[in-house]
Amino acid sequence: MLLSYHGHSVVQIETKGTKILIDPFINGNALCDLDASNVKCDVILLTHGHNDHVGDTVEIAKRNDALVIATFELANYLGAKGVKTHPMHIGGSHEFKFGKVKFTQAFHGSSYTEEDGQIIYTGMPAGILFFAEGKTIYHAGDTALFSDMKMYGELYNIDVAFLPIGDNFTMGHDDAVLAATWINSKEVIPIHYNTFPVIEQDPHQFVSALASSEGKVMNPGDSFNL
């Protein structure tokens, strides 16, 4: 399994011949190394409906005939735009050919702002647990710290956790360090920082503060085999 990071909350997983993109915010993301016009993927996983997470989903999904997996309301919204979707919801899981997807809680918001300023409610925000090749990946999405993260650490043997550290809209440094302790992932990778001035953080400071997990700061375009 190959994991790569592409700025903000954009993560790519390659497993069983399937390319999966999580929260493909590319255009408008100065930290992203990808070009939305030529990205290839088979599946898109979305944590919630905010524009900096839905990003270029519609364009990428239509061009690649990719399956978009999202919470029910967000999947319905994107389905109405002609995108192939599989709706799910928090607490639910589904076994796909490429792996198992389970949506978790996340404490945040979820809406999409259209070009004309209209705000569309897109249901509940979520985190994602992904299981494939005997490995477990947790993408927390945008979230505050919440105590059920302890339960995730107890129930799942998490290999890699992608945690937001940007503060202001999500967990900041201190809360994310505590979340990492609760989740007890073998490896923790910070996401959702430095894209905008209000979420500027030092990821190396975060990684150095981790006690129970190994931390890794990934630059856009970095990848590693799990």
Give the pLDDT confidence of 166-185 residue by residue, as tens digits. 999 999 999 999 999 999 99
Q: What whole-number distance in Å separates Cα of residue 151 and Cα of residue 21? A: 26
pLDDT (average), residues 200-222 = 93
Domain 2-216 has CATH 3.90.1140.10: no
Question: For a pLDDT cut of 90, what percent of the chain falls above it?
Answer: 98
pLDDT at 7: 97
Sign of CA pseudo-dihedral 85, 88, 90, 92: negative
Distance CA 117, CA 119 (A): 6
pLDDT attached to residue 111: 98
Domain boundaries, given as residue ranges, for the chain: 2-216
Task: For residue 224, name the pLDDT band (cuts at 50, 70, 90).
Answer: very high
pLDDT-derived band at 101 (thresholds 50, 70, 90) equals: very high
CA distance 102 to 82: 24
